[in-house]
Amino acid sequence: MSELNKNIAEYSLRIGDTSLILGQRLAEWCGHGPILEEDIALTNVSLDLIGQARAFLTYAGENEGLNRSEDDLAFLREAREYKNRLMAEQPNGDYAQTMIRQFFLSVYQYYFFTELMKSKDATLAALAEKSLKEVTYHVRHSSEWVIRFGDGTEESHVRTLEAIDTLWKYTGDLFETDHVDIDLVKAGIAVDMNVVRGNWDKKINEVFEKATLTVPEDSFMIGGSIKGLHSEHLGHLLSEMQVLPRSFPGVEW
Amino acid sequence: MLSTKFSEKEIYDLIADIPDPEIPVITIEDLGILREVKIEDGKVKVFITPTYSGCPAMKAIENDIADILRKNEINSFEVKTVFAPVWTTDWISDEAKEKLRKYGISPPEKSSSDKNILLNKHVRCPQCNSENTVLISQFGSTACKALYKCQDCLEPFDHFKCH
C-alpha cells in the first residue's frame, strides 16, 4: 500500500473512531433516558454514529492493506491504537454533561463533514454527505437542550456551567492535526481544520448566547488523541464494548 | 462459466418487490435502496445503498435478496453496499409516498438538497391532511422517522424525515 493509502486509512480511522466511541457512550443511556423520547433520541443518534463508524472503519481497513474488517478494527484494538477525539470518550455524567458533549461534537462533525464533502476522495466525500444529513438533526437536538438547560432553572444553569467546565479542556483536541492532515490537504483529500475551527467557534458562541452561557476564556487544553494518547476512561469503555469478541474469538451473530 | 439463466433485468425484477423490513407497504425498489444488478464473469452483483448510515434493516434486506437468489438457483452472487451517489428521500417514488401516507406515515417532502428544508417545513397529517401539526420528538420508532402530532384530529403519527 502506498503512503497515500496509509494516510487515508489513518484519517478514516480518526473519523470512524470518534463516531464509534461517541455512539458507544450514548448507547449506555439505553433504558436510562430521563424520558422515553430522550431514550429513543439518544439511541437513534447512537445508531447513526455507529453506522457512520462502520463505513469509515471499513474504508480504513481497505486502505491500510492489512486485511482488517470493520469488526477487527472496532473490537481488536487497544486503547493506544484508538484515534477518536478525547471529547467522545468522556463519561456521560448527568444529562447536562451528555448534552454539552453532544453539542460540542455534533457541531464539530457538522462543519467537518461540510468541508469533507468537497474531498477529492469520492468515498470520503460520499460518506461525509450522508453523515452530514444525520448530524444536522443531532445539532438541532443538542442545541435545543443546551438552550433549555442554560436558560432554564438555576439548578440546570449551574449544572450546565459545571459540564462546560469539565469538558472545555478537551475542545482543543478536536482540531489537532499532524503530517497526515498536511499531506492529505495537499492532495485535496483532507479538510482545512482552521475553517472547521472558525465555524465551530461561531456556532458555539451563537447558541451559548441564546442559552445565557459564556464561552470560557482559553485555558489549559488536553490533547494527543491523534497520537493515541487518551484519558483513563477509554480503556474502561473498550473493555465493555469488546468483551464478547475478545472472550469468544471469531464469534458471529 | 455461466451461473445463471437469467438476465440482469430479470434478476432485478425478481428482487425488486422485496418489502422494506420496517415499512412493509413499500419495496426496496420504491425506496431507491436497490440500485443495480450486474452480471460479471458469471457472478451476479447486486448493489444496494443504505437510507441511513446505521439503518439496521440493511442486513435483513441483504438476507432477503440472498434467499430469493438461492431459491432461483443463483448461487454465485454478491450483495454490495455502495455509498455514492448518496441516497436521498427524493429517490422515493411518488407512488411510494402515497403508499406511505395511506399506511399512516407522513412522507418526506422534496427536496433534501437544501439543508434548511431538513429542519423547517410543514408536515401534513396523514389522517386528516391538516398542516396544523407539532413535532413531539425528532427521533421516532426507526432511524428514518420523527414523531408528530396533529392538532386538529389529535392523532400522533410518524413522519419520514427528509434526507
Cross-chain Cβ contact B139/A141 below 8 Å? yes
- In angstroms, the separation between the Cα of residue A48 and the nearest Cα of chain B is 5
Write down the pLDDT at residue A207: 98
Query: Which DSSP string corresponds to chain B?
Result: ----SS-HHHHHHHHHTPBPSSSTTSBHHHHT-EEEEEEETTEEEEEE--SSTT-THHHHHHHHHHHHHHHTT--SEEEEE--SSPP-GGGS-HHHHHHHHHHTEEPPPS-TTSHHHHHS-----TTT--S-EEEEESS-SSTTEEEEEETTT--EEEEE---
Is residue A100 a contact partner of residue A171, using CB atoms and an 8 Å limit?
Answer: no
Closest residue on chain B to A44 (Cα): B143
Closest residue on chain B to A133 (Cα): B163
Q: How confident is the model at residue B144 (pLDDT cuts 50, 70, 90)?
A: confident
Tens digit of each residue's pLDDT (9 = 90 or more) over A82-107 = 999 999 999 999 999 999 999 999 99
Residues of chain A in contact with residue B137, where contact means CB-CB under 8 angstroms, are 37, 40-41
- Interface check for B147 against chain A (CB to CB < 8 A): the answer is yes
Q: Is the predicted pLDDT of residue B1 greater than 50, yes or no?
A: no
Query: Which DSSP string corresponds to chain A?
Result: --HHHHHHHHHHHHHHHHHHHHHHHHHTTTTT-SSHHHHHHHHHHHHHHHHHHHHHHHHHHHHH-S---HHHHHHS--GGG----HHHHS---SHHHHHHHHHHHHHHHHHHHHHHTT-SSHHHHHHHHHHHHHHHHHHHHHHHHHHHHHTS-HHHHHHHHHHHHHHGGGTGGGG---HHHHHHHHTT-S--HHHHHHHHHHHHHHHHHHTT--PPPP------GGGT---THHHHHHHHHHHHHHHSTT---
Cross-chain Cβ contact B54/A49 below 8 Å? yes
**Once rounded to an integer, what is the mean pLDDT over residues B28-56?**
92
- In angstroms, the separation between the Cα of residue A103 and the nearest Cα of chain B is 16
Of the candidates A40, A48, A123, which has its C-beta nearest B53's C-beta?
A48
- Interface check for A102 against chain B (CB to CB < 8 A): the answer is no
Here the cell at position A102 is 453532544
Tens digit of each residue's pLDDT (9 = 90 or more) over A125-160 = 999 999 999 999 999 999 999 999 999 999 999 999
If you compute the radius of gyration of chain B from its CA atoms, what whole number of angstroms results? 18
Cross-chain Cβ contact A44/B87 below 8 Å? no
Q: How confident is the model at residue B137 (pLDDT cuts 50, 70, 90)?
A: confident
Residues of chain A in contact with residue B114, where contact means CB-CB under 8 angstroms, are none
- Interface check for B134 against chain A (CB to CB < 8 A): the answer is no
- Interface check for A139 against chain B (CB to CB < 8 A): the answer is no
d(CA A83, CA A18): 7
* Residue A24 or A251, more confident: A24
Instruction: Please report the sign of the dihedral spanned by the C-alpha atoms of residue A236, residue A241, residue A247, residue A249.
Output: negative
- Say which CATH class B8-81 falls into: alpha beta
- Which of A38, A117, A120, A130 has the most B C-beta neighbours within 10 Å, making it the best mutation to test the interface with B? A130
Comparing C-alpha atoms, which of A4, A117, A134 is closest to residue B84? A117
- Write down the ipTM of this complex: 0.81
- Which of B48, B91, B139 has the most A C-beta neighbours within 10 Å, making it the best mutation to test the interface with A? B139
Cross-chain Cβ contact A37/B139 below 8 Å? yes
Q: How confident is the model at residue B52 (pLDDT cuts 50, 70, 90)?
A: confident
Looking at chain A from residue 35 to 54, which residues have their Cβ under 8 Å from any Cβ of chain B? 37, 40-41, 44-45, 47-52, 54
Write down the pLDDT at residue B4: 62
Closest residue on chain B to A110 (Cα): B115
**Once rounded to an integer, what is the mean pLDDT over residues B82-106?**
91
Cross-chain Cβ contact B53/A45 below 8 Å? no
**Once rounded to an integer, what is the mean pLDDT over residues A213-217?**
92
Domains of chain A plus CATH, in order, are 3-247 (1.20.1260.10)
How is chain B split into domains, by residue range? 8-81, 92-160
Of the candidates A52, A132, A141, which has its C-beta nearest B138's C-beta?
A141
Is residue A8 a contact partner of residue A63, using CB atoms and an 8 Å limit?
Answer: yes
Write down the pLDDT at residue B3: 54
Cross-chain Cβ contact B137/A45 below 8 Å? no
Cross-chain Cβ contact A130/B87 below 8 Å? yes
Write down the pLDDT at residue A76: 96
Tens digit of each residue's pLDDT (9 = 90 or more) over A44-78 = 999 999 999 999 999 999 999 999 999 999 999 99
Q: How confident is the model at residue B143 (pLDDT cuts 50, 70, 90)?
A: confident
* Residue B22 or A213, more confident: A213
- Interface check for A133 against chain B (CB to CB < 8 A): the answer is yes
Closest residue on chain A to B137 (Cα): A37
